[in-house]
Chain A
Amino acid sequence: MADLAAVVGIGQTKYQTKRKDVSIAGLVREAAFNALTDAGLTWDDIDAVVVGKAPDMFEGGIMPELYLTDALGCNGKPMLRVHTAGSVGGSTAIVAASYVQSGMFKRVLTVTYEKQSESNAMWALSNAQPFSPHLNAGAGGFFAPIIREYMRRTNAPYDVGIKVATKDRLHGARNPLAHLQLPNITLKEVEDSPMLWEPLRFLESCPSSDGACALVISNEELAAQSPKKPAWIRGAAMRSEPTMYAGREQVNPQAGIDCAKDVYKQAGITDPRKDLDCAEIYVPFSWYEPMWLENLGFADVGQGWKLTMEGATSLDEKGDIPWNCSGGVLSSNPIGASGMIRFAEAARQVRGDAGDHQVDGAKLAMGHAYGGGAQFFAMWVVGSEKA
């Protein structure tokens, strides 16, 4: 049986297009230092460090954790580097938690980041590979046809994505760390933004951000001594499936369904919409909100878009299950960190420490990340209570 573990410190940087004032090491140190400060700890209190980021090619260095050890106070300690594509922020938090849940470590620091401004992620994602046609479609070009198939199956109105994009930016305006600050955004503005990969418009896509996110995770005994309220890890799960195989269900991937079932079972959740108070779900393109509402069991298959349109996921419309109160990936996207930000924001909610985007009385929240061709999933559920 796994030992109890809790998030006792959370540190984030401000997310923005270019953090010219810091190096990569400066960026990760800022998030790590903020997490230690939040936990009332110093570097010496940390037993191990787990680093995650998306492909090394995004910044051009190989295994950058080797260079980051000095900035993260890790010399003489264990350092592990996770890479599971876009889900890496979530996977890294889960691996870090397992350091503690195994009973082998008391307190670990985990940090994820991306400094996209130091290279060109679009290039790294779709650089010309020999032998395959160079279509410059990027991630949007990969996911847009899947979204179109969702629209065909559900007959969802054309403006569901527009609604999600607007809602998440309004949420983001409540979060001073969010990259995009668009407090006056309107549905019309999103609708009028340039089409990129039909049906996805410019404002229905995530930005490209610099930023880092860090967590301090500790065992039960040390969490009890923590100055601030711990967020107890009530369940954590990962699932993977191949990118392409004959008969693969791409709109509603099995790996996501299985991962959600696993994490709900651990956390004792039978009806996620009812049992959870809020969720931070990886939605880099607007239409992934209704798609994941169905995939994660918040709505029946074919019905996810209705929750979105009814405002069930909106903080401003006082929805019953707010999604991405922090503004989500649509408001900030330092790729390697984006998953951990979801996990961290879920923890902030149950700690009652989410500022202007706090959901009143949140006790149970979910963090979610996905990556690759929507094939790698990482999820956790955190609670204000141990069980």
Chain B
Amino acid sequence: MRDIAIVSFVQSDCVRDAGAQNEVELIMPVLRKALDAAGIQSAQDVDFTCSGSCDYLQGAAFAFVSGVDPLGAVPPIKESHVEMDAAWALYEAVLKITMGQAESALVYGFGKSSPGELPIVLSQQLDPYYMAPLWLDSISTAALQARTMLDNGDITEKDMAEVVARSRKNAKSNPHAQLKGDVSVDELLAEPTYLSPLRKHDCCPVSDGACAMVVATVEKAKEWGKPYAVLKGIDHRIESHNFGARDLTQSPSTQAAAKSAGVANGPVEVAEIYAPFSHQEIILKRALGLGDDTVVNPSGGVLAGNLMMASGLSRIGEVAMRIIRGDIKRGIAHATSGHALQQNLVAVLEEA
């Protein structure tokens, strides 16, 4: 791939229930801000637009179609959509830019999860014949994974609580976070289990919201005269859907994607990891090969607020903005999809 400039990124606040706002109304403000930050007017000013969303979050077929409405797509635009987290929409944009068909792209993700019971809705991601009929929800499969790790001696419940305490603390400086504050490991461990061995705080909250990003070739970004971060590498891998065929305590797909994206080619100052459950951050940190000198989830991560279908892109955006602000020189971001970390994407970002 060629170097891609991330020029702007905006996400909405993570809120438990966006109330009367529909998806179009959630998307519009972040699109506006992301376009403004890149100094452009509308989707007409980029060569390609791609979004990520999931029909089932709002329970209607073709729910993504209305996502075109806020783009100002008259005259018609080059546009595509993935039924995945918008991090994969960014991947599609990277392909288009690398092949020379686009010099710039708008990428956005949106999800209003509050209308349904998200973990139950996600149970229908499982094998439709053997597993979905069991209504095994997304928290239960994560609990299976955590139990395996605890019983293996890979982690302790204290390790999990430490992840949560750090998330809440880091989120204090994140204006978009839904859950934040100072809470001690002891206090967390005193909480009752919710879905054993998980406590409620081990699970990410359900949030409504959207995010948007403008990317371009480095040449185009220079022409625009805006500061940017450089996407140096990005790759994604999937694993078996069959839990029995996987070692749930590891994430080989993350490991493979990290290798191919070039995580180890330099120091990792910051890693934004899409770990919807506390124990998964530990799995991912190991799979990404991160040491103690890497600051993990300075935003609080998705334990502080999880915009389904946008959280992956948000992780990349979080790192990009830290680079653009000059806080760091190099960082990585991760996105996941499916139950128990089945599919994973890794991106490497550096200063210009």
Contacts and interface: CB of A to CB of B under 8 A. Distances in A.
Are A and B close enough to touch in the complex, i.e. CB under 8 Å?
yes
Interface of A: 1-3, 23-24, 55-64, 66-70, 74-85, 91, 95, 98-99, 101-104, 118, 124-125, 127, 129, 237-243, 245, 248, 253-255, 258-259, 372-373, 375-376
Given A59-B128, A63-B54, A254-B75, A84 B80 contact: yes
Contacts of B79: 238-240, 376
B135 interface: no
Given A62-B125, A98-B101, A248-B74, 8 more contacts: A57-B60, A61-B132, A63-B54, A69-B342, A101-B99, A103-B98, A237-B78, A240-B77
B140 interface: no
Contacts of A62: 54, 56, 121-122, 124-125
Contacts of A57: 55-56, 60-61
B338 A63 contact: yes
A80 B128 CA distance: 19
A2 B61 contact: no
Nearest to A373: B65
Given A55-B61, A58-B61, A61-B128, A98 B96 contact: yes
A95 B95 contact: yes
Nearest to A3: B99
B131 to A, nearest CB: 8
A298 to B, nearest CB: 20
Nearest to A83: B83
Given A82-B81, A95-B92, A56 B99 contact: no
B80 A238 contact: yes
Interface string B301-336: 000000000000000000000000000000000000
A372 B62 contact: yes
> Top 5 closest A-B pairs, CB basis?
A255-B76, A55-B61, A240-B79, A83-B83, A102-B98
Contacts of B81: 82-84
9 contacts: A61-B125, A66-B339, A70-B240, A76-B253, A78-B235, A79-B343, A81-B84, A84-B81, A127-B60
Interface in B36-73: 49, 54-56, 60-62, 64-66, 68-69, 71, 73
Interface string B204-216: 0000000000000
Contacts of A248: 74
Contacts, number: 181
B1 interface: yes
Given A23-B129, A258-B76, A243 B68 contact: yes
A46 to B, nearest CB: 13
B1 A104 contact: yes
Interface string B111-142: 00000000001101111110010000000000
A81 B100 contact: no
A87 B82 CA distance: 13
Contacts of A83: 55, 64, 81-83
Contacts of B75: 241, 254, 258
B242 interface: yes
A2 B55 contact: no
Given A62-B121, A79-B238, A81-B82, A2 B100 contact: yes
A56 B56 contact: yes
A75 B65 contact: no
A241 B338 CA distance: 30
Nearest to A377: B76
B76 A55 contact: no
Contacts of B91: 80
A5 B127 CA distance: 34
B65, B68, B76, B126 pick with most chain A CB within 10 angstroms: B76
B236 interface: yes
B238 A78 contact: yes
A241 B84 contact: no
Contacts of B200: none
Interface string B90-109: 01101110111100000000
Contact of B74 (A55, A241, A372): A241
Contacts of B128: 24, 59-61, 64, 67, 118
A245 B235 CA distance: 38
A125 B62 CA distance: 8
B309 to A, nearest CB: 10
B241 A66 contact: yes
B226 interface: no
Nearest to A49: B238
A242 B69 contact: yes
Contacts of B250: none
Given A62-B122, A242-B74, A125 B84 contact: no
A103 B99 contact: yes
A76 B62 contact: no
Contacts of B60: 57, 127, 129
Contacts of A80: 82, 84, 88, 91-92, 236
Contacts of B1: 102, 104
A75 B80 contact: no
A80 B1 CA distance: 17
Nearest to B49: A240
Interface in B222-242: 235-242
A240 B76 contact: yes
Nearest to A86: B62
B110 to A, nearest CB: 14
A82 B80 contact: yes
A75 B239 CA distance: 5
B191 to A, nearest CB: 30
A203 to B, nearest CB: 26
B241 A69 contact: yes
